[in-house]
Amino acid sequence: MLLRDWLKQSEARLRIGPHPERARMDAETLLLHLIGKNRAWLLTHLDDDFGGCTSIGYAQQIDRRLAGEPIQYIIGECEFYGMPFRVNKDVLIPRPETEHVVEKVLELAASFERPRIVDVGTGSGAIAIALAHSLPAAQLTAIDVSGAALSVARENAERNRMTLRLLEGDLLAPVAGEQFEFVVSNPPYVADLDRETLAVEVREYEPALALFAGPHGLDIYRRLTTLAYDAVVPGGFALFEIGHGQAAAIAELFSTAGFTNIQFTKDLQGIDRVISAQR
């Protein structure tokens, strides 16, 4: 069967899946990753024969996507802040909106010569590695309660040739007694009550440990704001990604913990996405 026929057939199958609007794009993305080619090559080789083990592997990938598995898990990688990251079921897939955390830290870091930065709940290591790349003088520590997630973060640090300290443990427990210019985090913030509203690829495939945080999605913030205040040097900052509609509640937690200069950064949809506050 020709490549064009495989694509047509795969697109038709994906149109009955959870994301019919992405059917053609997903069919092409999976094919091109599998054969290691780009779209320009594809456009001139649509009439090539496509068969054997490669076509079997492609059909299996289409099955996985049809079931709702994220493209990023199927191909095993994604891009964040212009850098390649390996991802699997042990870590969240880095989202573009999380880049606002990196950008806000870079804006504030100009006041510090060699900032010490700790990323709490690092997952794939996306935030910590992006900051290490952009702030070569900074000292980066990345913490996660999941050893499996830390293995992915370690691989991503090596892949992107970044040096950071990786520690396993709950929130800031592994660095108890240490202080930092920045405590950053993209913690779990989805309310348990919202589980059924999530897309199937998030609800069924991404790690629940990194998604859900109690009835209203605030459980981790309640613990982390106070811990962060103790870990930040005077004049230093805490910056967390937050969920839609959580700004007021989390601002109150920051204020109660003792932080001042509380600000929000909006994402491209105009939603308050990052809270930053100063000790």
Mind giving me the DSSP string for 89-129?
TTSPPPPGGGHHHHHHHHHHHTT-SS-EEEEES-TTTHHHH
Residues 56 and 109 in one domain: no
Residues 55 and 98 in one domain: no
Q: Which residue type, as a one-letter code, is found at position 75?
A: I
Convert the pLDDT of each residue in 176-198 to its tens digit.
999 999 999 999 999 998 999 99
Convert the pLDDT of each residue in 201-220 to its tens digit.
899 999 999 999 999 999 99
Residues 49 and 85 in one domain: no
Could you report how far apart the first and last alpha carbons of the chain are, in Å? 64
Residues 58 and 183 in one domain: no
Residues 238 and 172 in one domain: yes
Calculate what percentage of the chain has a pLDDT beyond 90.
85
Distances (CA, A) of 74 to 10, 132, 215, 220: 15, 27, 31, 30
Burial of 215 (0-12, 13-18, 19+ CB in 10 A): exposed
Q: Which structural domain range is residue 8 located in?
A: 3-68
For β-strands 116-120 and 180-185, DSSP reports them as parallel
CB-based contact 213:263 (threshold 8 Å): no
Q: For residue 206, what pLDDT is reported?
A: 95
Residues 86 and 60 in one domain: no
Q: Is residue 32 part of a domain?
A: yes
Number of structural domains in the chain: 2
Q: For residue 149, what pLDDT is reported?
A: 98
Residues 61 and 99 in one domain: no
Lowest-confidence segment of 45-49, 102-106, 166-170, 245-249 by average pLDDT = 45-49
Q: Which residue has the tokens 């999941």?
A: 146
Say yes or no to pLDDT of 37 above 80.
Answer: yes
Q: Is residue 161 part of a domain?
A: yes
Residues 54 and 152 in one domain: no
Which tokens belong to 170?
Answer: 């709950």
Q: Is residue 127 part of a domain?
A: yes
